[in-house]
């Protein structure tokens, strides 16, 4: 290339800075569009000097490959889906942040699909999402991760997946088990060690596996310590702030009222705080409260909330890594062991 042609190329690159197309890159580099595509997709079939020239132009122009266009050209998508039916917005945000961190630098993008798993046609809706977007893989978040019919559909359409659930439901290379029961056992032991025996429990919806695992672990651990909760002290919530308020109103109307309440997520614990405040009850002087998930909310409440920590962001990153791994390199996720983070919301009963 002559000096005059190089100057012209530089002028054109400056004009295209912040945009441009793959055709522009090919024209500036004096190569074919196919060669540029090979560089973008890290093909070894490009000479080193040509690769360096194209990569320099891509940086200078600010060209960003379109994931859908790449998928069409290479007969696979560069999109990862996240499918969820979960009323806890903070849980989903944390999961998305983890998945995005796991995909960073890979060339893959994340697309999300909220759904209503109580709807009769929700699996058909997920199938349409997967096929229409030509997804490379899907992260399944509780509660949809527990649905065997959904997993069967993904196998039928040939879409890889990673499941996140309270217990193992699949082969290790596709499964992240959060072992929720262990965290609930720790809460039971902690409250009993403080001297609480009149305890209330606010569960999530019974159709959630996490609800059943957390509730069973808590109640069984209390039973081993000689504490049996009456049915009046166990109230089903909806994993939402509003349900926490309503359930706390029922529990705190009991005579005698519970000296401690365990809620199966932090959103409902915040609802308990509101009800206690309205009733003139001080936490932890009159009522001890423990949550689950250890969301950012736990440390922001006053007094700060004791809560079982689940590494939700890490779980999202693990799931993304599972999907990006080659079939022969797929590995099980690290063991997840939830544990209680003790803060200021609990003390011995008066």
Position 13 confidence tier, pLDDT thresholds 50, 70, 90: very low
Task: Kindly state whether residue 247 falls inside one of the protein's structural domains.
Answer: yes
Does the residue 341 lie in any domain? no
DSSP 3-state of 299: helix
> Has residue 115 been placed in a domain?
yes
Let me know the angle formed at the C-alpha of 84 by 82 and 87, rounded to the nearest 5 degrees.
140
pLDDT score of 16: 47
On whether both 184 and 274 belong to a single domain, the answer is yes
**Do 59 and 131 lie in a common domain?**
no
Are β-strands 306-309 and 260-263 bridged in parallel, bridged antiparallel, or unpaired? unpaired
Within a domain: 236? yes
Mean pLDDT of 24-51: 81
- Is 264 among the domain residues? yes
Same domain, 95 and 60: no
**What pLDDT is stored for residue 42 in this prediction?**
62
pLDDT at 9 over 80: no
Q: Is the pLDDT confidence value at 62 over 80?
A: no
Residues 104/128, Cβ–Cβ less than 8 Å: no
Question: Which run of H or E residues covers position 283?
Answer: none
Question: At 340, is the pLDDT very low, low, confident or very high (cuts 50, 70, 90)?
Answer: very high
Residue 348 inside a domain? The answer is no
Token pair belonging to 34: 């196919």
- Beta bridge mates, 289: 261
Domain identity same for 192 and 282: yes
Predicted pLDDT at 6 = 44
What gap in Å lies between CA 324 and CA 111, rounded to an integer?
15
pLDDT at 75 over 60: no
Percent of the chain at pLDDT > 90 equals 68
Asked if residues 78 and 71 have their Cβ atoms less than 8 Å apart, the reply is: yes
CATH number at residue 254: 3.40.50.2300
Lowest model confidence (mean pLDDT) among 59-68, 168-177, 245-254, 266-275: 59-68
For all residues of the chain together, what is the average pLDDT?
Answer: 88
pLDDT tens-digit readout, 188-207: 999 999 999 999 999 999 99
User: Do 222 and 249 contact (CB within 8 A), yes or no?
Assistant: no
Are both 161 and 239 inside the same structural domain?
Answer: no
Q: Does 201 share its domain with 302?
A: yes
Domain coverage including residue 222: 180-309
Distance of CA 141 to the CA centre of its chain: 6
Cα–Cα–Cα angle for 174, 178, 180, rounded to 5 degrees: 145
| CATH number of the domain encompassing residue 61 | 1.10.260.40
Residue range 100-125, pLDDT digits in tens = 999 998 889 999 999 999 898 999 99
φ, ψ at 147 (rounded to 5°): -90, 110
- With tokens 């305890």, the residue in question is 199
The answer to the question of residue 113 being in a domain is yes
Render 225-255 in DSSP notation, one character per residue: TT----GGGEEE--SSHHHHHHHHHHHTTSS
70 vs 346, more confident:
346
Residues 278-318: pLDDT tens digits? 999 999 999 999 999 999 999 999 999 999 999 999 999 99
Residue 232: pLDDT above 50?
Answer: yes
Are residue 303 and residue 187 in the same domain, yes or no?
yes
Based on the fold, state whether residues 210 and 248 are members of the same structural domain: yes
pLDDT score for 329? 61
Pairing verdict, β 306-309 and 339-341: antiparallel
pLDDT at residue 8, rounded to an integer: 41
Question: Do the domain assignments include residue 265?
Answer: yes
Residues in the chain: 350
* Nearest of 307, 239, 303 to residue 273 by alpha carbon: 303
pLDDT at 19: 55
Q: How far apart are CA 266 and CA 244, in angstroms?
A: 9
Q: Is 148 helix (H, G, I), strand (E, B) or coil?
A: helix
Q: What is the pTM of this model?
A: 0.76
Instruction: Specify whether 43 is located in the same domain as 119.
Output: no
Task: Clarify whether residues 13 and 77 are in a common domain.
Answer: no
Query: Confidence band (pLDDT; 50, 70, 90) for 87?
Result: confident
Assess whether 88 and 168 both reside in one domain: yes
Nearest-CA neighbor of 61 among 35, 36, 34? 36
**pLDDT tens by residue, 127-159:** 999 998 899 999 999 999 999 999 999 999 999
Q: What is the pLDDT of residue 330?
A: 60
d(C-alpha 320, C-alpha 140), whole Å: 11
pLDDT of 333 higher than 60: yes
- Burial class for 344, CB neighbours closer than 10 Å (0-12, 13-18, 19+): middle
pLDDT band at 334 (very low <50, low <70, confident <90, very high): confident
Task: Verify that 165 and 268 share a domain, yes or no.
Answer: no
* Percentage with pLDDT > 70 across the chain: 87
Number of domains in the chain: 3
Query: Which uninterrupted H or E stretch holds 66?
Result: none
339 and 187 in contact (C-beta within 8 Å)? Answer: no
Place of tokens 């651990």: 221
CA angle 160, 161, 165 (to 5 degrees): 160
**Interior/surface letters 13-35, b for 16+ CB within 10 angstroms, e for the rest:** beebeeebbbebbbbbbebeeeb
């Amino acid at each position: 290339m002559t000096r005059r042609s190089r100057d012209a190329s530089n002028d054109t690159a400056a004009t295209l800075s912040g945009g441009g197309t793959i055709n522009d890159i090919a024209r500036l580099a004096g190569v074919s569009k196919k060669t540029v595509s090979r560089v973008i997709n890290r093909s070894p079939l490009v000479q080193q000097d040509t690769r360096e020239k194209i990569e320099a132009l891509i940086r200078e122009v600010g060209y960003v490959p379109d994931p859908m266009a790449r998928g069409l050209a290479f007969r696979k998508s560069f999109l990862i889906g996240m499918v969820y039916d979960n009323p806890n917005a903070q849980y989903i945000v944390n999961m998305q942040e983890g998945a995005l961190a796991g995909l960073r630098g890979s060339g893959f993008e994340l697309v999300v699909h909220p759904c209503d798993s109580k709807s009769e046609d929700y699996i058909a809706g997920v199938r349409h999402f997967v096929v229409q977007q030509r997804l490379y893989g899907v992260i399944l978040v509780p509660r949809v991760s527990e649905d065997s019919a959904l997993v069967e559909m993904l196998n039928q359409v040939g879409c890889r997946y990673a499941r996140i659930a309270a217990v193992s439901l699949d082969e290790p290379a596709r499964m992240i088990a959060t072992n929720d029961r262990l965290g609930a056992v720790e809460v039971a032991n902690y409250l009993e060690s403080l001297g609480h025996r009149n305890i209330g429990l606010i569960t999530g919806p019974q159709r959630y596996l996490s609800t059943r695992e957390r509730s069973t672990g808590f109640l069984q651990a209390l039973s081993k310590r000689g504490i049996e909760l009456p049915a009046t002290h166990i109230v089903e919530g909806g994993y939402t702030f509003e349900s926490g308020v309503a359930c706390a109103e029922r529990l705190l109307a009991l005579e005698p009222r519970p000296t401690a309440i365990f809620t199966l997520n932090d959103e409902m614990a915040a609802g308990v705080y509101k009800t206690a405040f309205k009733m003139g009850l001080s936490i932890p002087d009159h009522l001890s409260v423990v949550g689950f998930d250890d969301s950012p909310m736990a440390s922001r409440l006053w007094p700060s909330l004791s809560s079982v920590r689940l590494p939700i962001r890490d779980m999202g990153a693990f799931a993304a890594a599972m999907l990006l791994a080659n079939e022969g390199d797929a590995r099980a996720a690290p063991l997840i062991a939830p544990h209680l983070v003790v803060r200021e919301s609990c003390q011995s009963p008066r």
